[in-house]
Structure 1
């Protein structure tokens, strides 16, 4: 069975972003239940030198959009990265999902062999990879890093979430076991 780059990219990004949106809802519920300011969650970070929850969500969304654009040879949507509320972050996720859904599977034809260059201007270097290498070694690890860090920030702030929330999309695979 051949696995497509489309399936590995888009069909990975979309359910995980949906889970992230649900986790943000739980963050809002947490703030309401404790009568705390939800903007404190948006500004929370795990360590002083790490990005805030808002930036982690923005970067997960940007990584998904930019990765699909690189793999398809298209242009990624540009966002202002000015979201300051949980609702605004959810809207950003929704915009990202809209973009991902708009890209046809056929746009990924030949993506595994597409030459992809990622410039690192401040060091005057660049990464040169095939589409498959890019997806496997750059896009997915960066996406998951920011997604998991957003989850971890909320968890660290006391939001009652767990692995079931993070992997909420796998519920569709649950089946009753057949009798032996």
Structure 2
């Protein structure tokens, strides 16, 4: 490991860990629902407040953020998903597919990406343009952690016995 934090080190391993911890929390949620005698899919449509997205969308967006970030930094296209997951098994498969995709990146793929121009087209803010470093630290990482933390909070709000260690991982 170099003395200077590389764009790879600041992204891919961080995304992999966050998705792994999210998968773990989802598994605890599914197990909790089954132990309590209700259909686990109920959790997937749960939300913290009526105007917030449900758990299933939080997970989809976390996965999208994790896959789009290194692709944008490397200047390549990422895989697309249809956002049709409606079961825990389908969400696990999505998280696994994104994790497998993230493992295709290495240091060389993101070398020099701190200066790469990244432009996002958003529904609410129009085009947003960043240099790679600003995109990673000011948009991608905060967005990932927002959706992972919100997923954790939705599960916890619904009685799933999760704690900080589940969010942070062991």
> TM-score scaled to structure 2, two decimals?
0.95
Q: Unaligned 5+ residue runs, structure 1?
A: 172-180
The 5 Å alignment of 1:138-153 reads: 138-153=139-154
Aligned to 1:89: 91
Aligned to 2:113: 111
Residue of structure 2 aligned with 1:40, choices 42, 67, 72: 42
Aligned to 1:51: 53
Q: Unaligned 5+ residue runs, structure 2?
A: none
Residue of structure 2 aligned with 1:66, choices 68, 81, 86: 68
Aligned to 2:4: 2
> How big is the alpha-carbon RMSD for the aligned residues of Structure 1 and Structure 2?
1.1
How far apart are residue 121 of structure 1 and its match?
Answer: 5.5
- Cα distance between partner residues in 2 of 1:73 and 1:44: 36
Radius of gyration: which is bigger?
Answer: 1
Call closer, same or farther: CA 1:36–1:6 in 2, change over 3 Å. same
